[in-house]
Structure 1
Amino acid sequence: MASTGDNEEEYHSSPEEAEEGGGDDVDRMSFRSASNESDNDAGADDDCTYGDSDSNDDCTYGDSDSDDGLYDEYEEEGLEEVDDEGGILDEMRFTATQYAVLTMDELRARQEEHTARVADLIALPPALAAAVLRHFKWSAQGVWERWFSDERKVRNAVGLREDGSALSRAVNDATLTCYICFEVQGPGEMRSAGCAHFYCRGCWSGYVRTAVGDGVRCLSIRCPDMACSAAVVRDLVDDVADAKDAKRYGEFLVRSYVEESKRLRWCPAAGCDRAVEFDGEKCTVQLDAWCACGHGFCLACGEEAHRPVSCDTVRVWMEKNRSDSETAQWVLANTKHCPECRRPIEKNHGCMHMTCSPPCKHQFCWLCLGPWEKHDGGNFYNCNRYNEAWAEGKYTEEELRRSQAKVSVDRYLHYYERWAAHERSRQKALEDVAALGKDGSQREAVAAAFGVVETELDFLEEAFRQVAECRRMLRWTYAFGYNLDDPAKRDLFEDLQSQADKSLELLHECAEKDRKDLVAEAAGVRGAVADKYLEFRPKLSSLTAVARNHFENMARAFRDGLAEVEVDPAVAARRAAAVPPPLPKDDDDDHRFDDLRM
């Protein structure tokens, strides 16, 4: 979530962690932070699980003679077996009941409701109950177990009075001296945190302003008296602080409610201040949630939505993308070592005469790595001669290492390029959704071209939504494929991926190309494509349903560990007979990896 002030620190989940980040500013009034020694939350963590889909529809996995033949096959088999309900994907509709998207106002209301229930349970005012709840990471179960097992210990840890008092703030009833500014104040002019140490409003205001300026640690401040551990809570802050500081304190309290809770996560989209609440104690397995802003992310790991692959697969893949290991692999694959000093050299000119950089300055041939003096002046050299050892698979250690490094880079690029390409296609599909949706820039023109009212174009918007979701799912299968080592499962995986990809391309081409062709044909001739539109609409709706089922089947197969999917016998036989490619030789593709990482 965006920070609420220019002087805020990075948010920490505990006061101890925050205190490690730095000391207080000597120019400002110091404040005291609670130790907040947190006990482990009690209660078991309930795992969230996917439910089985009610639909038992299966798609045939096998080769088709042509794209049109694939559509005809679905048409002949009958579309009554295809789940064509509203929405994008069956499991997305199912899992939507497992979480709720909350606005800031709804979060505050939820927090107040949560606090009120606990306040009634332990007979404390809401402000003190909120301090107890935060100590237990906003877990009512933790409060229930620890409060009634050892109330005194909890009171000491939170900063409540041991005599059982439920006072969150107090007002002086006699004239007293403020021991910060040493001014005499009349009755009703001073406040305390429920203890015996009263201070004037001005000093309290400065104390709170200093605490709020240092970030979320303001939620753990104690009485300014060094010998007192009384907690400073929301009631006192609202009473003594100015409106700006009180507002920021309230924002930190909401942040704490979300970020320290096991059930809530902020939407990670830029500029979004909504949070998603999981319907359970804690989400520990992959579960995609979709915020009202349109961004999807996983409730378990916080990464972008990545169904059907696991959180571990995404973590490994993202670490691979962020690491610099591939740069080192590129150096190995696309450079050669100077035969004299062993420094890696990249060829950046056309001729084969290489000169190592100072102080080495060794001159050698790029092709055979032999000394250049044997190539100069018409002397004999063997760069043009075929090497029998290479033909027999005999490599030097350096040649083998470079070849293996090149294979590793090429394999990574294969999966990364497809992973990135599907994301670009997904973004384009989302642009089409916006353009063809309600109030979209193209909706009126397309409706006019087809000779229909705008409300009849919902099927077109739904098709592009399905395309975007399928692109996202297919994108993450390449991260899975990169880390898949089991040869038997790889055959199953690639067959599922191929069939899903084929149905997606048919859908996307129909929604994009066929639509544009019809609109272009109808330009200037109203009603000219009425018959073709009547064919286009059911075809696109059918392809939408077919793609949905293909991807649902793929998701179920991933969820089951690729254990119960049968590969078409012809596909298995073809792959079994495939000849592995030869060991790659050096070529002039140095630019590929640099372009990718830019």
Structure 2
Amino acid sequence: MSGSEFSFSEEGYSSFDEDDGYQLSIGDTDVAFDPDASQVEVKYSYPDATTSTKVPINRIKYQALSYDDVDALLTEKIKSVNGILQVGDDESMVLLQKFNWKVERLLEKFLDNPIRTYDSVGLNYNAVRVQPEKLIVVDPHFFCPICCSEGSEENPLTTFHSGGCDHRYCVNCYATFLKEKTTLTCMDTECHSVILPSELKSLSDCILNAESVLGDASNGLAASKTEASADFYGYASDSATTRGNDYSDDEDAAELDSDGEEIEEQRYLVEYRKRKLEKAVQDKEKQRNKSLYSRYRSKIMKDHVSQQADFRLCPALDCPGIVRFIDFDSNSASSGITGLEQFANQHRSFPIVECSYNHFFCFYCSKDNHVPIPCPIVKAWIKKCKDDSETANWIDNNTKPCPQCDTNIEKNGGCNHMTCKTCCHEFCWICMGLWKDHKDFYKCNRYQEVKDDSPQKENSRRYLEKYLFYYNRFAAHQTSFKKDREFCSKLDFLIQKVQKRNKVSWIETQFYEEAVRILLKGRHTLMWSYAFLYYVEPCRLKHLIEDSQFELSKAVESLSKLIETVKPENIIKYRQRFIKESGLLKSHKYALVDICLDALASDELLISIPT
């Protein structure tokens, strides 16, 4: 297969350091979006428009969005639809959700028959709904049929019902019922009345107010108990809270620096970054789940993103980042590219994007950053590793091919007299010779040079050896990459320690952090280059890629060794060496990617992917 014949269909971290800084309709038409009006930076999937030899590189334009950015776009979309339908923002949101956020489809159905469209989502077109603030009713005589709670004059029940019906239940039961839902309906099994977002917010605010009252009462009780304990035991009440579980990471660092014990130092070193990141994610998630309404809004946003072909949720674990495709660049447009599948299947492109939390992934296949190879090779390599790696190793170590028909045979007993079930050939398991020749004078324990004249066996062995050669190197760098990433997780704390011990500013230690980041990106590129070369047939371009790969490998190992061997107190002394080594690695990484792009655009490169 030549370099221009990739083809496969599939629905759909980059290692680039610089970013340069349109709407394409993908699938159903959405509300127009003007990127110039947005405050979010528009980025490219590759920093340069051409390779060093001026070969054009096809790129995509994208935006790395936060939760608030997408929420603002969703609000704008709802208001735009309401501007056409004139039914209200709440009703527009419910209708859009019903039609999977497809604006054209909604408009077509609504304009054809608005009453039927309203009925399909549980709304009554001609009915006047009760105002949200009137849906919360405090009733001393109400009995909730779900939890069997009964109100009284001293302790009345707070109830809630949909604005489209009169089925009342206590607010706690309603909140539990709606907690994990994105489609909000009445609790009554025979009622299909929908609950509008503003009505849900009214219920959510009611619960928050009740929890706030209970929280204030609980805090007051706790404070009085603390003061009583202080009086009894004779210590100051404010000192009881100074050594709680929620002191800051900076206090951790200060305490650690004064303590100086190596075991504690290593433990905090490993856990510091992890705790910091987890706390940041938890705080954001806690804020989104703070109320019933904010939890619903978060789920609606994710549902909206998952339904849009030009949005991707970051595949990194627990990452809330979102990337939005804007358009193809001018090179792609001049190449006649009109869709992401076509873009991913041609050679001069890597649709690698970076989310707002600095995770890199492929926008098309949602896999981890796989520069310098295209999506079709990634798909083939991942499938092959999944199917063949363990199987090939087990077959190689536990079976032998029949000398006559080449069928792999597993030895299931102690006897060395083997009979192939396929061709009934009898042979010795030890020397693979004919069993009938095994007589007293036959020496199967004596080493002899044996020439294998079986082409089929030789091809099978060569195929396995080639796969294991590239797979073992891919796996070795994958393991090293994970170790380097673990080291990166404690980088913040390590830099903080360097600052304190050397009495330098934060900016003076950034060369070290940059060196670690470059090492991660370089090793990741090197890892995927082995998967690429597995499918490339021998040719001049393959030799050029291997030469560049060798230089990158030397640079990666040199910087990795420097980072591992230099102690924190000596990092500042080695500043120039870190800058030199990281700069060399960075240039070799770009050189390898550049050569791969040139090769992929050439008809001279032959790539063989089994179908």
> Do the structures match in fold with TM over 0.5?
yes
Given residue 594 of structure 2, which amino acid in structure 1 is its aligned partner? N
Determine if the alignment matches structure 1 residue 375 to structure 2 residue 422.
no
- Is 1:198–2:166 an aligned residue pair? yes
Provide Cα deviations, 1:382-417, integer angstroms capped at 9, x if missing partner.
Answer: 987777xx56x3x3xxxx555443333222212212
Match of 1:467 among 495, 509, 519: 519
2:525 and 2:589 in contact (8 A); partners too: no
1:440 pairs, out of 492, 495, 506, with: 495
Contact 1:42 1:142 in 2 (8 A): no
Higher relative contact order (CA 8 A, sep 6+): 2
1:543 has 2:584 as partner: yes
Q: Which residue pairs with 1:11 in the alignment? A: none
Cα gap change, 1:513 to 1:171, in 2 (>3 Å):
closer
The separation in 2 between residues aligned to 1:417 and 1:173, in whole angstroms, is 65
What pairs with 1:137-536 in structure 2 (closer than 5 Å)? 137-140=100-103, 142-143=105-106, 147-148=110-111, 151-152=114-115, 154-163=117-126, 193-195=162-164, 197-202=165-170, 206=173, 209-210=176-177, 212=179, 215=180, 218-223=181-186, 229-240=192-203, 242=207, 246=293, 248-279=295-326, 284=341, 285=344, 286-323=350-387, 327=391, 330-331=394-395, 335-336=399-400, 345-346=409-410, 353-354=416-417, 365-367=428-430, 369=432, 375=438, 377-378=440-441, 390=451, 393=453, 395=454, 401-430=456-485, 440=495, 443-444=498-499, 455-484=507-536, 491-499=540-548, 501-513=549-561, 536=577
Overall identity of the aligned pairs, in %: 22
Distance in structure 2 (CA, Å) of the matches to 1:437 and 1:177: 57
Contact 1:42–1:145 (Cα < 8 Å) also in 2: no
Shift of 1:345: 4.7
Cα displacement (A) at 1:550: 0.6
Instruction: Give the secondary-structure state (helix, strand or coil) at the position aligned to 1:98.
Output: strand
Deviation track 1:337-376 (CA, whole Å, cap 9, x = no partner) reads: 7899x99654699x9945789xxxx995214556767535
Report the Cα distance in structure 2 between the residues aligned to 1:173 and 1:335, rounded to whole angstroms.
74
CA change 1:167–1:554 in 2 (3 A) is farther
Matched-pair contact (CA < 8 Å) for 1:422–1:475: yes
Q: 1:309 to 1:356 in 2, by over 3 A?
A: same
Q: Is the 8 A contact 2:523 2:556 kept in 1?
A: no
The SS at the match of 2:312 is: strand
Q: Does the Cα contact within 8 Å between 1:329 and 1:409 map onto a contact in 2? A: no
In the TM superposition, residue 134 of structure 1 has moved relative to its aligned partner by 1.8
Local SS of the residue matching 1:423:
helix
- The residue number in structure 2 matching 1:88 is none
Q: CA deviation at 1:304?
A: 0.8
Q: Name the SS for the 1:220 alignment partner.
A: coil
**Offset at 1:114?**
3.7
Q: Is the 2:322–2:356 contact (alpha carbons within 8 Å) kept by the matching residues of 1?
A: no
Residue in structure 1 matched with residue 63 of structure 2 by the alignment:
99
- Structure 2 CA distance for partners of 1:231 and 1:484, relative to 1, 3 Å: farther
Query: How many residues get paired?
Result: 457
Which residue identity lines up with residue 307 of structure 1 in the other structure? V
Amino acid aligned to 1:277: R
Instruction: Give the CA deviation at 1:308.
Output: 3.0
SS at match of 2:182: helix
User: 1:320–1:381: structure 2 CA closer, same or farther, 3 Å change rule?
Assistant: closer
Letter in 1 for 2:166: F
After superposition, the C-alpha distances for 1:473-521 in whole angstroms (9 at most, x for unaligned) are 2322332333346x5xx5424422431x23423433553456788x68x
Give the drift of 1:165.
6.2
Does structure 1 conserve the Cα–Cα contact (< 8 Å) formed by 2:555 and 2:581?
Answer: yes
Q: Which amino acid aligns with 1:554?
A: I
Distance in 1, Cα, partners of 2:75 & 2:557: 51
Correspondence for 2:242: none
In structure 2, C-alpha distance between the alignment counterparts of 1:469 and 1:274, rounded to whole Å: 20
Residue 252 of structure 2: aligned partner: none
The normalised TM-score by structure 1 is: 0.58
Q: What's the CA shift for 1:199?
A: 0.9
Matched residue of 1:278: which SS? strand
- Kindly indicate whether the alpha-carbon contact (under 8 Å) linking 1:429 and 1:468 is maintained by their aligned counterparts in 2: yes
List gaps (5 residues or longer) in structure 1. Answer: 1-39, 60-90, 568-598
- Secondary structure of the residue aligned to 2:64 is strand
CA distance change for structure 1 residues 313 and 224 in 2, over 3 Å: closer, same or farther? same
Instruction: Give 1:441 shift.
Output: 6.3
Which residue in 2 is equivalent to 1:34?
A: none
Identify if the C-alpha distance between structure 1 residues 549 and 148 changes in structure 2 by more than 3 Å, giving closer, same or farther.
Answer: same
* TM superposition shift of 1:173: 13
Query: 1:132 aligns to what?
Result: 95
8 Å contact from structure 2 (residues 474, 531) kept in 1: yes
Shift of 1:543: 1.9
* Distance apart, 1:105 and its partner CA: 4.9
Q: Is the 8 A contact 1:419 1:475 kept in 2?
A: yes
Q: Secondary structure at the match of 2:353?
A: strand
Distance in 2 separating the partners of 1:247 and 1:304:
31
Unaligned runs of 5+ in 2: 1-26, 34-42, 152-156, 209-290, 329-338, 345-349, 607-611
